[in-house]
Structure 1
Amino acid sequence: MRAYSTDLRERVVAACDAGDATREQVAARFSVSVTWIRKLIRQRRETGSIEPRPHGGGHAPAFDAGGERRLREAVRERPDATLAELARAVGVECRPSAVHRALKRLGVTRKKSRGGRPSRTAPS
């Protein structure tokens, strides 16, 4: 979710400062929540700014450059391994979803190719 624009923030604060409407009315006029207005006013009081704060970041990726290299090698050695088995083979303690995201980021597909000739009786 993206932060509200500075222009909207300025208009909301100006409407609140004018004092001719309640925060509920201002929230309805600008399609924002009363809680967001309360937080914006508190931020201006504490920091003197209504600019959006920087994003907090998030979790670091489970696979660094070396881990991605080892993951690629593990898939090459055992293409039929499960995601949990690949995580153990690489030596990274993480959830299977993290292995899936790393494989997707690397562009490594694990779909099995069809062996043999196509069937003449069923669609292929």
Structure 2
Amino acid sequence: MKAYSTDLRERVAAACHAGDRSIPQVAAHFSVSVSFVNKLLRRQRTTGTVAALPHAGGPVPLLDEAARTQLAACVAQQPDATLDELRAQLAASGGPAVGRTTVWQGLQKLDLRRKKRVSTPPSATPNG
């Protein structure tokens, strides 16, 4: 969900400080929740600003650069390994113990494909 604009935040705070309306009336007028108005006023009291906090950036990746390098070495050693086999090799080589999804995401970041060879034999019919 996107943060409310700074302009709206400033107008809501100004309407609350004008004193002619209650917080629920201000919330109804600007089509925001009462809890948003309360949190906005609390932020203004504590920090002095109504600006939204910056995005935190999400969780830290489980496979850092060194672990991805180990994963690439495991794939180079056994190119047709399954995700579970890669997990075991990564843990055995001193890497972190992670799940299949994390290994899959690491392979995507390394731009490596899981499927290395065609599962059917080539056609006996010559091309041409």
TM-score with structure 1 setting the length: 0.74
Of 93-102 and 17-26, the range deviating more from structure 2: 17-26
How far, CA to CA, are the matches of 1:40 and 1:47 in structure 2? 10
For residues 18-29 of structure 1, the aligned pairs below 5 Å read 18-29=18-29
Deviations 1:32-87 (A, max 9, x none): 22212111100111111112223334432222222112212222333443334323
Structure 1 segments unaligned to the other structure (5+ residues): 119-124
Query: What's the counterpart of residue 78 of structure 2?
Result: 78
Matched, 1:104 2:85: no
The total of aligned residue pairs comes to 118
Structure 2 segments unaligned to the other structure (5+ residues): 124-128
Amino acid at match of 2:120: G
Amino acid at match of 2:78: R
Matched, 1:87 2:92: no
Secondary structure of residue in 1 paired with 2:61: coil
Secondary structure of residue in 1 paired with 2:85: helix
What is the aligned-residue RMSD (CA, Å)?
2.4
Larger Rg: 2
Cα 1:72–1:49 change in 2 (3 A) is: same
> Identity, % of aligned pairs?
46
Query: What's the counterpart of residue 120 of structure 2?
Result: 115
Cα 1:84–1:38 change in 2 (3 A) is: farther
Secondary structure of residue in 1 paired with 2:120: coil
